[in-house]
Amino acid sequence: MELGNIERGTRLVIFEELQQRAVSDEHEAVFRYYEGEKLFVVQCAWLYDNYDRINLGARLNVSYGNETHTYTFTGAAKEKLRAHGLVMIEQITGTEEVSRRKFDRDELRVHVRAYGLHESKLTAGTFEKPDTPPELTDVSFDVSSGGVCVVTDTLLSSKYDPYYLVEFTLTEKEYFLLPAKLVRRSNYPRTKIGRYDYGFQFIYDKIPDEKGRLTRAILSKKLQYR
């Protein structure tokens, strides 16, 4: 779904980021109309009211989606219009599409801790738990061999975003510490158990065996509930 295919009235989620780190809460916007190939207008009370104080060099993370996919790109506020609540935004990156149905997910509740991970460490063959406190600690909403979803009241913000080390245990013998990319963030979760919905996609490039081990551990966990 490219920018030119967004329909009027589509709900968007916007948050401000500086150097790829969230520096604001997430806010709802409504798509109004196009002004050009990369320019469009949204109605967003937060963006309109804070237009004059937005950090110099800051960017806007814009996301929207449907039941099967989430679409995300980076934009910049270009103009505050006369009509109250209307702001023009320029799309400055391509649109990233993430399938929500790429992996079968199981609603497994496990304790999850997410630590910020520097991008340069993604090529490591082994990973160690950091000495620093986790950026996020909560219970998973669902888990699959592809990733994990966490619905929480915690606003996730890390200087290493979107890369994290995700730590969790599925069974007494199955402990995991996996590199992951945050591919979905929303403050309109599918359930009311928390304000924010975060989707992490595991990265197996240097640890391919971990995917099979996780798949087997998920099956073992499911069999415990039968």
Tell me the helix, strand and coil percentages in the chain, rounded to 5. 15, 45, 40
Q: Which of 42-46, 123-127, 167-171 holds the top average pLDDT?
A: 42-46
Kindly tell me the number of DSSP H helices and DSSP E strands found in the chain.
2, 14
Lowest-pLDDT range of 80-84, 130-134, 155-159, 170-174? 170-174
Cα–Cα distances (Å) from 190 to 35, 129, 143, 217, in that order, read 32, 30, 15, 25
For residues 55-83, average pLDDT:
82
Q: What is the pLDDT of residue 1?
A: 44
171-226, pLDDT tens digit by residue?
A: 778 899 999 999 888 765 555 567 788 999 999 999 999 998 998 888 777 666 55
What share of the chain has pLDDT > 90, as a percent?
A: 40
14-52, pLDDT tens digit by residue?
A: 888 877 666 777 788 999 999 888 899 999 999 999 988
How many residues are there in the chain? 226
Q: How far apart are CA 198 and CA 148, in angstroms?
A: 8
∠ Cα 174 178 182 (to 5°): 135
Q: What is the pLDDT of residue 103?
A: 46
Q: What is the pLDDT of residue 67?
A: 60
Q: Which run of H or of E encompasses 224?
A: helix 209-224
Q: How far apart are CA 168 and CA 151, in angstroms?
A: 15
Q: How far apart are CA 167 and CA 130, in angstroms?
A: 11
The answer to whether residue 114 scores a pLDDT higher than 80 is yes
What share of the chain has pLDDT > 70, as a percent?
A: 84
Can you list the domains of the chain with their CATH numbers? 3-99 (2.30.110.10), 111-224 (2.40.10)
For residues 71-84, average pLDDT:
89
